[in-house]
Amino acid sequence: MFGYVEPDKPELKIREYEVFRGYYCRLCKTIGKKYGQIPRLTLNYDLTFLYVLLDSLDIRLIEGKRERCLAHPLKKRFVVNPGPNAEYAAAMNILLTYYNLRDKWTDDRNAVSGAASRVLKGSYNKVRREYPEKCEVIEKHLEKLGELEKKGCDVIDEVAELFALIMKELFQGGHVCDGTANKALGWMGYNLGRWIYILDAYDDIEEDIRNNNYNPIVRQYKYNGENIPEFRRRIVEPVNFSLTYSLSEVEKAYSLLNIEKNKGILDNIIYSGLIVKTDKVIQGRGKENEEKSV
């Protein structure tokens, strides 16, 4: 479900790319330090984005140094210094991945996910102890999401809302004291979560039909056994509207945050990366070059 929030790399400046990678590396290292080496593999772009975003609301300048790491032992790379939000983003990364894996295990008895979720269990417990309220709220939403999925809910908005609320919760949880910023962050998280959920559902249409899994889009538009490209053509317009509109709301919330720090990177993601990703998925190229690290 994750990794849709990416920069549009060809449009990034080299400097911005380095800084973005610096954040990515810092997050990875923070996970390693707090939760051990194996959970580092779960790091994804969505949480990197959240980390960059939250850190950009902190006015202190970006500082970092060149370090080596396990994955790239030969070359030193630029890594930003840990700010107050690094640990938060790391914890949320563990949390989301764990829930996602557990979900896959209970739904389709996917053996790999089952094993992985057991490996992550320890780290998850640690996060739970640290952020008990956050976990509680998220679990409440997840539970409801599970119920709706089991019931076969046929209203995309309704299902997407629950994931959106989870993202809202994550976006509002960092070390940001400004009430105005928090409100805008919440709305941004909500709409981004909605976008991720619907995009993921669209991306999985084929697979879900084949395996007879729940998919809100297939449900709402009553797939009747036609061939899949035809079905996609039938639904692409309203789905595209829904996705693009959500993004335009993300943009509105973002522009109210008045971010100066890392503006290049964030603008790139908000104004290009997200729409590029949308188009890729809509054109059926969503699974291309997925899961490649920076």
Partner 1 sequence: MKKNPYKVLGIKEGASYDEIKRAYRELVKKYHPDKYRNNPLADLAEEKLREINEAYESLMKNAGSYQYQESYSQSYENSNAYGDTGQSQYQYQYQQQYDNDLELEQRIRNYINMGNLNEAQRLLDRMTNRGASWYYLQGLIFLRRGWYDRGYSNIQRAVQMDPSNFEYRNALNNLERQTAGFRQNYYYRNTYRQDPDMCNICMHLWCADTCCECMGGDLISCC
Between 211 and 248, name the residue whose CB sits nearer to partner 1.
Answer: 248
Token pair for residue 113? Answer: 């996910």
Contact 247, 195 (CB under 8 A): yes
Q: How far is the CB of 143 from partner 1 (least distance, A)?
A: 20
Spatial neighbors of 246 by CB under 8 A, at least 6 apart, are: 191, 192, 194, 195, 198
| 96 vs 276, beta carbon nearer partner 1 | 276
Q: Look-up: residue for tokens 């080496």?
A: 37
| Least distance from partner 1 to the Cβ atom of residue 42, Å | 28
Q: Are 141 and 166 in contact (CB under 8 A)?
A: yes
Contacts of 121 (CB under 8 A, 6+ apart): 98
Q: Which one, 110 or 272, has the nearer CB to partner 1?
A: 272
Shortest approach of partner 1 to residue 137 CB, angstroms? 17
- Nearer residue to partner 1 within complex by CB, 46 or 161: 161
Q: Write down the least CB distance from residue 213 to partner 1, Å.
A: 21
Q: Smaller CB distance to partner 1: residue 45 or 163?
A: 163
Residue 127 beta carbon to partner 1: minimum distance, rounded to whole angstroms = 27
Rounded CA gap, 111 and 107, in Å?
11
Report which DSSP code applies to 66. Answer: E
- Applying CB under 8 A, the residues found at the interface with partner 1 are 8, 10-11, 155-158, 161, 164, 180, 183-184, 187, 190-191, 194, 220, 238, 241-242, 244-249, 251-253, 255-256, 258, 271-272, 275-276
Amino acid at 92: M
